Amino acid sequence: MGMSKTQIDELIRVSADHDCNEANGVCVKLVAIADLPTRAGDFQVVAFHSPSDRKEHAALVHGDVSGRERVPVRLHSECLTGDVFGSLRCDCREQLELSLNEISRMESGIILYLRQEGRGIGFVNKIRAYQLQEEGLDTIQANEALGFRADERDYAVAAHMLYSLDVRSILLMSNNPTKIADLRLHGVKVEGRIPLVIPPNPYNRRYLETKRLKAGHLLESSATIEVPEQMDSAHAASTDASASK
């Protein structure tokens, strides 16, 4: 069962009354929540508006997450080429689909869909980076050649979205330890990590290897990270999260 109408009304009311005069300038408003049946299972879709970056972000929520601890959460940055067009140059669509399928089998969980195309450089620059990669640069070198950092994303908005949903602590579904550090910097209590390892294909093998070697991504199924609770699979996390309630 998802969040009740009473819970939804309260979350929207609290968000509407929330003062966005925050030190880091980040502001997110929870605007609306509706049921969203998907091929993976039943979710509730949450619409957020961020006046600070003038973007609209989304959350897919399965089960009742309000006031809960150890909620499995996937932070998924928008990828038009992968999520929509099925590009094989990255593993974005596979990670999104795996997250949806895994969370739908859990008691509860969240996917935050963040409008940070191309690791934060936007769609046009992402395609420009693709051109440079076809000339021999790797994904990080291409970003840097365009004048960007290897990763321009920031997770302050994601932290605020979790705050707006009244999530107390999370198990992060990610291979990227930088996300854990960034979320903690913004006050999110991350209690564990759930790996999302996707087998490479001939088109994204170099991309994934670059992320492993240069960005520190943990792409082996046995990967561990120094967090209070390390989860080796989504199903183990679900069991543990249920037991803690």
Q: How much is the mean pLDDT over the chain? A: 88
Q: What is the CATH number of the domain that holds 64?
A: 3.40.50.10990
222 or 171, greater pLDDT = 171
Q: Which of 83, 91, 138, 151 is catalytic?
A: 151
Average pLDDT over residues 111-131: 96
User: Which pLDDT score is estimated for 51?
Assistant: 83
In the residue annotation, 153 being an active-site residue is answered as yes
pLDDT-derived band at 100 (thresholds 50, 70, 90) equals very high
Q: What is the mean pLDDT of residues 198-203?
A: 93
pLDDT digits (tens, 9 = 90+) for 137-196: 999 999 999 999 999 998 999 999 999 999 999 999 999 989 999 999 999 999 999 999
Quick one: average pLDDT of 221-232?
43
Which residues span the domain enclosing 88? 5-116+153-238
Using the predicted structure, report yes or no on whether residue 18 has a pLDDT greater than 50. Answer: yes
99 and 74 Cβ atoms separated by less than 8 Å: yes
Is there a domain that residue 122 lies in? no
Domain count across the chain: 1
pLDDT at 228 over 80: no
pLDDT single digits (tens) 51-87: 877 899 999 999 999 999 999 999 999 999 999 999 9
Label residue 236 exposed, middle or buried (CB < 10 Å: 0-12, 13-18, 19+): middle
- Which residue is associated with the tokens 């960007």? 148
DSSP state of 54: T
pLDDT at 23 (0 to 100): 52
- φ/ψ of 153, rounded to 5, equals -75, 155
pLDDT at 21: 65
Distance between CA atoms of 240 and 232, rounded to whole angstroms? 11
Q: 153, 184, 193, 206: which is the annotated catalytic residue?
A: 153
Q: Would you say residue 142 lies in a domain?
A: no
Tell whether the model's pLDDT for residue 26 goes beyond 90.
no
pLDDT at 45: 98
Asked whether residue 90 is assigned to any structural domain, the reply reads: yes
Query: pLDDT exceeding 70 applies to what percent of the chain?
Result: 88
Domain assignment present for 211: yes
The reply to whether 81 falls in a domain is yes
Active site residue 193: no
Identify which of 224, 39, 94, 176 has the alpha carbon closest to the alpha carbon of residue 233.
Answer: 224
Classify residue 129: in a domain, yes or no.
no
146 falls within a domain: no
131 falls within a domain: no
